[in-house]
Amino acid sequence: MALHDTLRRVTDRVIQRSADSRARYLQRLDAQKGQSPRRGALGCGNLAHGFAGCAADDKAALAGNRKSNIAIVSAYNDMLSAHQPFERFPAIIKKAAHEAGVVAQFAGGVPAMCDGVTQGRDGMELSLFSRDVIAQATAIALSHDMFDAALYLGICDKIVPGLLIGALSFGHLPAIFVPGGPMPSGLSNPEKARIRQLYAEGKATRDDLLEAESKSYHSPGTCTFYGTANSNQMLMEIMGLHLPGSSFINPNTELRDALTVAATQRAAQLTEQAGNYAPIGRLVDERTIVNAIVGLLATGGSTNHTLHLVAIARAAGIHIDWQDFSDLSGAVPLLARVYPNGVSDVNHFHAAGGLQFLIASLLDAGLLHGDVATVVDGTEQGSGLDAYRHEAWLKDGKAAWRAGTPTSADTSILRPATDPFDPSGGIRLLTGNAGRAIIKVSAVKPQHRIVEAPAIVFESQDEMLAAFKRGELERDFIAVVRFQGPAANGMPELHKLTPPLGVLQDKGFKVALVTDGRMSGASGKVPAAIHLTPEALKGGSLARIQTGDVVRLDGEAGTLDILVDAAEFAARPAATPDLTANTWGTGRNLFGAMRAHVTGAEDGAHSFGEDFA
């Protein structure tokens, strides 16, 4: 199938824009590669430190450079349900590595925090910056020049982007991302949302709420709604960095373990010593990044990735912006309805045909670059993204692959590109005199996508919640929650606002949210213009907006405007926030340098410096 014209045009634009930076990145990659294996250049004392804890056979193999050494970089902790299954993976990987004739060492752990636990709490102000810390921790784990390839164990929101940024800083190493899988389905997501809303209205008790939440988040594995964590898994697969069909296999199952073994075996085959050298820095190119954006749009994925994908691309010397997302959104149809964009969860999506059906449909429509390099090129599945038409299954106790279903098993969840839920993608760019922002419209009904109403300005989500509880918001309005950007307070998620806004919308009021913070992943039915840039602290229009100003948010036309005389608005002084409460407690005092040096949202909201790749 010929490439869609928009896909080709956007890709060409990204390639041209990135020409110099991508060339520099590849030059650095080749310089990093140097002598192979790099540990061959280590002094005797250095090398002895590197294998001192190994068994005798592994010491001998590494001392003589006779075997490849696979790094394990893991985000394991047993407080996060999604990452708890990784406790077992190192032992599985080390055994599989020995059977494949290589060595595997646990190179290092990276932090993993949960937005679900920190939601509405001070700790959420560390959430976005944790991505950069994870990237740095990944670099530290790989800094010893002991490794020939790496396996990355991560699932959730900032963790996979951080691991991938770190992996790309070691772009000369082959890499495979190894998922843990979603928990089995529990209480349905719509029922959970219903009880949350009842609690916000005072019609359910805290015990009722906790029981519902516990039935929803009930076992090891990823949360089952289609938020950032499961969007991460989709991205790793559509970027060719997972084994095909591995994203949504439940934890602690025979197939899940078999896929972990297969990932280890495949990593052993990708090293330079094995003769099939495939460094991740060359796998992730401009076409791969464009494919990632397409996957995000086609599935109605998390708006967090309008930040993360920009930073990931930059780590590979590639420059993308929100206009690229917007242009592709006009051409890429919405093919999936998974909560909060529908009622079903990722287990239902996988059973309906999952990523294999979706990838095949997009390839057949000319909406993906099929000729990209992937971690399975040259295997029995084939090469390029065609290999990802295959689903994983268990054959004689081992992972095997077969053709995915040619038809959706449930068209209320998953549809082909010839019969989409919506002809355009789920994420759109908003522009206007308010600035540039992102909106996720896939979960918003068409009748709610345009709101023109007076603004009510808040400088924290707690202020808005207090006003809601006092009954002051029973009217049409647009909530402006400002000084929530990365430089102000780390750009927290504002999910605590979803239930009250939903209550007001259900009462018939026209409501919306405008913020320089985040409201993504699990964002729902209320229109929300998020990631507004420039942020209020950096001279953005939000700093001059006043309660009573009429604001128009048009999710259909892609506009966001403050309907105030331009001269009057420009003459207003900018509000001066008191941010002292954001600088201490829950470790926030340790992140001052990040807040001081973070880039804007459309530049990925990263703190690495302008030329980190």
148-169 residue pLDDT tens: 999 999 999 999 999 999 999 9
State the pLDDT at residue 35: 66
C-alpha closest to that of 394 among 236, 183, 235, 246: 246
Burial 510-541 (b: 16+ CB within 10 A, else e): bbbbbbbbbbbbbbbbbbbbbbbbbbbbeebb
State the pLDDT at residue 214: 73
What type of residue sits at position 35?
Answer: Q
User: Region 587-604: what's the mean pLDDT?
Assistant: 94
278 and 375 Cβ atoms separated by less than 8 Å: yes
Report CA 18 to chain centroid distance, whole Å.
22
Gap between the Cα atoms of 66 and 134, Å rounded: 31
Match 């950032």 to its residue by tokens. 228
Q: What is the DSSP string of 8-25?
A: HHHHHHHHHHTHHHHHHH
Going by the annotation, the residues of the binding site are 156, 223
546 and 497 Cβ atoms separated by less than 8 Å: no
Element (H, E) at 238: helix 228-238
500 and 612 Cβ atoms separated by less than 8 Å: no
User: Region 214-230: what's the mean pLDDT?
Assistant: 86
User: Region 357-383: what's the mean pLDDT?
Assistant: 95
State the pLDDT at residue 522: 53
Torsion, Cα of 252, 258, 264, 270 (10° steps): -140
Cis peptide before 179 (omega within 30 of 0): no
Characterise 346 by phi-psi region: left (phi > 0), alpha (psi -120 to 50), beta (else).
alpha
Report CA 446 to chain centroid distance, whole Å.
26
Gap between the Cα atoms of 353 and 417, Å rounded: 14
- Give the chain's mean pLDDT: 93
pLDDT digits (tens, 9 = 90+) for 547-569: 999 999 999 999 999 999 999 99
Gap between the Cα atoms of 187 and 179, Å rounded: 23
Identify the bridge partners of residue 518 per DSSP, sorted by sequence position. 493
Gap between the Cα atoms of 507 and 490, Å rounded: 33
Mean pLDDT check: name the lowest of 57-66, 331-340, 365-374, 550-559. 57-66
State the pLDDT at residue 515: 97
Distances (CA, A) of 155 to 216, 240, 275: 18, 16, 30
C-alpha closest to that of 552 among 444, 478, 472: 478
Query: For the chain, how far is it from start to end, CA to CA, in angstroms?
Result: 34
Class of domain 425-578: alpha beta
The sign of the dihedral angle between the CA atoms of 348, 351, 355, 361 is: negative
Going by the annotation, the residues of the binding site for [4Fe-4S] cluster are 156, 223
User: Region 175-185: what's the mean pLDDT?
Assistant: 95
Match 């993976």 to its residue by tokens. 89
Match 């993993």 to its residue by tokens. 112
The sign of the dihedral angle between the CA atoms of 456, 457, 460, 466 is: negative
Q: How many Å is the Cα radius of gyration of the chain?
A: 24
Angle at 238 between CA 237 and CA 244, to 5 degrees: 40
* Every domain range in the chain assigned CATH 3.50.30.80: 425-578
**pLDDT at residue 442 greater than cutoff 90:** no
**pLDDT at residue 242 greater than cutoff 80:** yes
pLDDT digits (tens, 9 = 90+) for 399-438: 999 999 999 999 999 999 999 999 998 789 999 999 999 9
Mean pLDDT check: name the lowest of 185-194, 312-321, 531-540. 185-194
358 and 299 Cβ atoms separated by less than 8 Å: yes
Identify which of 40-44, 229-233, 377-381 has the greatest average pLDDT.
229-233
Mean pLDDT check: name the lowest of 14-28, 216-230, 234-248, 379-393. 216-230
Distances (CA, A) of 403 to 135, 241, 351, 535: 35, 19, 14, 47
Beta strands in 9-136 (DSSP E): 69-74, 103-109
Structure tokens at 194: 């219903």
Gap between the Cα atoms of 512 and 194, Å rounded: 19
pLDDT digits (tens, 9 = 90+) for 66-96: 899 999 999 999 999 999 999 999 999 999 9
**pLDDT at residue 521 greater than cutoff 60:** no
Beta strands across the sheet bearing 103-109: 103-109, 69-74, 149-153, 175-178
SS3 552: strand
